[in-house]
Structure 1
């Protein structure tokens, strides 16, 4: 069976980058930390990550090449402590979310072990462009 790509569709011009984004996103889908994505209005979203045990200073949020990247790195504060069982490890993570054109990252808030990141999508204007057709009258010589 042949793999269909966006380039296989002759009416889909200039979508090669979208295909690369989809492939890159599919590769980085580990399960930690768990997250929710909710639509909060017609033009806004909220991503919520369960980051219990992380302080605000342990987290970073960046936008890189139309990707929202959330990283977490806990400092190991176990100096001088003796654990009989250690089930809560200082674990680092990186979560990436591909942002569509026009989606902007807004506020980020920590609340009860949850990190909320708000996103808004600008409403696209409908633009109608008329292309003038030039008429040529016979062959021109140089």
Structure 2
């Protein structure tokens, strides 16, 4: 569900910043942004999906096609024998992205 905050911009003098914040928050909550991905058209009916999934191995990624939807999910298993981690800069958080497939 999405809300249109455009009328607030015209009628609420002095509250335009609040309306912008609410509008931005509602859009970002509705659209997941992790992990980032690219979709390239490689032919008339073929596409290539590229996802940036740093810290995930092939065994951590699951691809499922269900009800005309491609579901890509990632879950990192417990790290094995990585040694002592001094800094963790790669998120490794679980994710699920859904892509509608063309008929």
Distance of aligned partners of 1:51 and 1:63 in 2 relative to their CA distance in 1, 3 Å threshold: same
Provide the residue aligned with 2:92 in structure 1: 90
1:1-142 equivalent positions in 2, closer than 5 A: 27=30, 29-77=31-79, 81-101=83-103
Structure with higher Rg: it is 1
Q: Which has the higher helix share?
A: 2
TM-score, reference length from structure 2:
0.62
1:79: how far off? 6.7
Gaps of 5+ in 1: 1-26, 102-142
CA distance in 1, matches of 2:41, 2:74: 24
TM-score by length of 1: 0.46
User: What is the CA–CA distance in structure 1 between the aligned matches of 2:53 and 2:62, rounded to whole Å?
Assistant: 12
Retained in 2: the 8 A contact 1:62–1:68? Answer: yes
Give the paired residue count.
76
Task: After superposition, give the CA deviation of every residue in 1:6-30 in whole Å (9 maximum; x if it has no partner).
Answer: xxxxxxxxxxxxxxxxxxxxx4x31
Higher RCO (C-alpha 8 Å, min separation 6): 1
- More strand, by proportion: 1
Secondary structure of 2:42 counterpart = strand
Change (3 A) 1:71 1:49: same
Verify the 8 A CA contact 1:68 1:99 in the aligned structure 2: yes
